[in-house]
C-alpha cells in the first residue's frame, strides 16, 4: 500500500513539473506568471494527497484550487488575458487525483496535454490560416451523418429478400466520406509541389474512373504526360485501399483473405506509377528531366490541379455509390435465389462495370449473410475488379488517346493480374 501511494506521488509530481516547465518556457521573455513549475508540481501533489484522504477532501481541494487560480488570474490578466495556464493548472490538480487510481492513464493524458500546449503555434496557424470556412462546414456535415443520422437508422434486414440493412449501407457512406476526407487532407498537407500525384491519390478515393478521365485530358499537354499517367495509376491504388477498408466494415472474414491480394496489387501499381513518373515526358531528354528535378521545377507542380470533387466532404459520390450498392445487393440476392452462386457472380461483375466497390461489397455482404460461399464471394470480387478495370482502360484511351491509354493499361493490367492470381491462390488454399 505504501509503495502504491509513493508511486502515485512520483507520477503526480513528475506530471506537474513537466507541464509547469512547459508553461514557464511558453512565457519566457514576458511578464512573470503567478503559476510556475513548482506551483504546478505542488498542485498535482495536493491532488494526490486529497484523493488519499477522501472524497470530501477532493471536493474541498477543487474549491480551494479553483479560488486560488481565479485570484491569480485577476491579478495578472492585464498582462496576459489568456486562460490556458489557469485551465491547465486546474487540470494538473485533477491529474494528481487520478494518479491514485490510475497513474498510467494520468501520465498518458498529461502527455496529450503537453502535445497540445507545445503545438500552440501550429494549431493557431492551422485554425486561422489553413482551415477555411467551407472545410468547417464540411466537418459539421460529416459529424451529422456519422453521429446523428447513423445511430437513428434501423440495424436490421429489410426489403425484398431481406437484402438491405439501412444502418450498414449508411455506415459505408460514412466510411467513404471519411476516406475521401483523409485524401483531401493529404493533398492539403503535401501542397501543390507533387500536384498530379497527390491529386490522383486523393481523387481516387472519390472516383478513380473520373480521375482517369481527368488525367487523360491533362496528359494531352506534353510536359504533363508522365505525371498524368502516374496520377491516374495512383488513383486506382486508392481504389484498392478503399476497397480493403469498406469490405472490412461489411465482412472481416472476406477482408482478411483479400488483404494480401489487394496489398500486392497496390504495390505493383504504385511501382508502375513511380517508374512512369520518373520517366521524362515525350520529347524531353533524360538530361533535361534531371535538370528540371534539380532546379525544383517539377512540371506537375507548376499548377495546382483541383481534387475531383473539390471538397473534403464528398457526400454526393458516396450516396451515388450507396445507391449503386443497394441496387447491386438486390440484383445479387435475386440472381443468387434464381440462378445460384453463378448468377451472383455475374451480377457482381455487372455492378463492377459501374463501380468496383459496389460489386465487391455486394459479394462480401451476401457472404456475411450466408447467401454465398467464400469461393463464390472471392470470384465475384475478382470479376467486379476486372470489369471495372476494363472500364477504366476504355476511359483512358478515349480521354487521353492511344499513348496515354497504353501506358495506363500496362500498369493497371499488371496490377489486376496480380490481384486475380493471388485470389485464385487464396481460393485454392481455403478449399
- Would you list the domain boundaries of the chain? 2-127, 134-430
Tens digits of per-residue pLDDT, 248-296? Answer: 888 888 888 888 889 999 999 999 888 888 776 555 444 444 344 434 4
Residues of the chain with pLDDT under 70: 1-4, 28-34, 76-82, 130-131, 157, 159-164, 172, 175-176, 178-196, 199, 203, 206-207, 280-322, 324-359, 430-431
* Residue 15 confidence (pLDDT): 92
Backbone dihedral angles phi then psi of residue 158, each to the nearest 5 degrees: -135, 175
HEC per residue, the chain: CHHHHHHHHHHHHHHHHHHHHHHHHHCCCCCCCCCCHHHHHHHHHHHHHHHHHCHHHHHHHHHHHHHHHHHHHHHHCCCCCCCHHHHHHHHHHHHHHHHHHCHHHHHHHHHHHHHHHHCHHHHHHHHHHHCCHHHHHHHHHHHHHHHHHHHHCCCCCECHHHCECHHHHHHHHHHHHHHHHHHHHHHHHHCHHHHHHHHHHHHHHHHHHHHHHHHHHHCCCHHHHHHHHHHHHHHHHHHHHHHHHHHHHHCHHHHHHHHHHHHHHHHHHHHHHHHHHHCCCCCCCHHHHHHHHHHCCCHHHCCCCCCCCCCCCCHHHHHHHHHHHHHHHHHHHHHHHHHCHHHHHHHHHHHHHHCHHHHHHHHHHHHHCCCCCHHHHHHHHHHHHHHHHHHHHHHHHHHHHHHHHHHHHHHHHHHHHHHHHHHHHHHHHHC
Whole-number pLDDT of residue 339: 58
- Nine-digit cell string for 150: 447513423
Q: Do 81 and 70 touch, CB atoms closer than 8 A? A: no
176 and 247 in contact (C-beta within 8 Å)? Answer: no
* Residue 307, pLDDT score: 43
Residue 300: its pLDDT value, please?
40
Name which of 171, 322, 183 is nearest 249 in CA terms.
Answer: 171
User: What was the pLDDT predicted at 363?
Assistant: 75
Considering the entire predicted model, what is its pTM? 0.54
Amino acid at each position: 500500500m505504501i509503495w502504491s501511494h509513493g508511486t502515485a506521488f512520483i507520477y503526480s509530481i513528475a506530471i506537474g513539473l513537466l507541464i509547469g516547465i512547459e508553461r514557464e518556457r511558453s512565457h519566457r521573455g514576458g511578464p512573470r506568471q503567478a503559476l510556475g513549475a513548482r506551483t504546478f508540481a505542488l498542485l498535482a501533489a495536493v491532488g494526490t494527497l486529497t484523493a488519499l484522504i477522501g472524497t470530501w477532501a477532493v471536493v474541498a481541494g477543487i474549491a480551494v484550487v479553483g479560488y486560488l487560480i481565479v485570484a491569480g488570474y485577476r491579478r495578472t490578466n492585464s498582462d496576459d488575458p489568456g486562460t490556458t495556464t489557469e485551465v491547465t493548472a486546474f487540470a494538473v490538480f485533477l491529474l494528481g487525483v487520478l494518479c491514485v487510481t490510475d497513474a498510467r492513464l494520468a501520465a498518458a493524458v498529461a502527455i496529450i496535454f503537453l502535445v497540445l500546449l507545445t503545438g500552440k503555434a501550429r494549431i493557431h496557424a492551422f485554425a486561422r490560416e489553413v482551415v477555411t470556412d467551407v472545410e468547417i462546414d464540411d466537418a459539421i456535415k460529416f459529424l451529422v451523418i456519422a453521429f446523428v443520422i447513423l445511430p437513428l437508422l434501423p440495424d436490421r434486414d429489410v426489403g425484398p429478400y431481406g437484402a438491405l440493412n439501412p444502418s450498414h449501407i449508411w455506415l459505408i457512406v460514412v466510411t467513404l466520406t471519411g476516406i475521401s476526407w483523409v485524401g483531401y487532407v493529404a493533398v492539403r498537407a503535401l501542397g501543390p509541389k507533387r500536384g498530379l500525384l497527390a491529386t490522383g491519390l486523393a481523387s481516387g478515393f472519390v472516383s478513380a474512373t473520373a480521375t482517369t478521365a481527368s488525367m487523360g485530358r491533362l496528359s494531352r499537354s506534353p510536359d504533363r504526360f508522365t505525371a498524368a499517367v502516374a496520377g491516374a495509376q495512383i488513383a486506382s491504388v486508392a481504389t484498392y485501399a478503399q476497397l480493403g477498408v469498406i469490405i472490412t466494415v461489411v465482412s472481416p472474414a472476406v477482408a482478411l483473405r483479400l488483404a494480401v491480394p489487394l496489398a500486392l496489387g497496390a504495390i505493383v501499381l504504385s511501382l508502375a506509377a513511380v517508374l512512369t513518373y520518373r520517366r521524362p515526358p515525350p520529347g524531353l531528354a533524360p538530361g533535361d528531366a534531371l535538370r528540371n528535378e534539380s532546379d525544383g521545377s517539377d512540371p506537375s507542380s507548376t499548377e495546382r490541379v483541383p481534387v475531383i470533387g473539390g471538397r473534403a466532404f464528398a457526400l454526393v459520390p458516396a450516396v451515388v455509390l450507396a445507391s449503386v450498392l443497394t441496387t447491386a445487393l438486390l440484383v445479387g440476392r435475386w440472381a443468387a435465389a434464381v440462378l445460384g452462386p453463378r448468377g451472383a457472380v455475374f451480377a457482381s461483375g455487372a455492378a463492377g462495370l459501374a463501380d468496383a466497390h459496389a460489386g465487391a461489397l455486394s459479394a462480401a455482404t451476401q457472404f456475411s449473410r450466408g447467401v454465398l460461399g467464400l469461393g463464390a464471394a472471392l470470384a465475384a470480387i475478382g470479376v467486379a475488379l476486372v470489369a471495372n478495370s476494363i472500364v477504366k482502360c476504355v476511359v483512358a484511351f478515349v480521354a487521353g488517346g492511344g499513348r496515354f491509354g497504353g501506358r495506363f493499361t500496362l500498369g493497371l493490367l499488371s496490377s489486376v493480374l496480380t490481384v486475380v492470381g493471388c485470389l485464385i491462390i487464396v481460393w485454392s488454399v481455403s478449399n
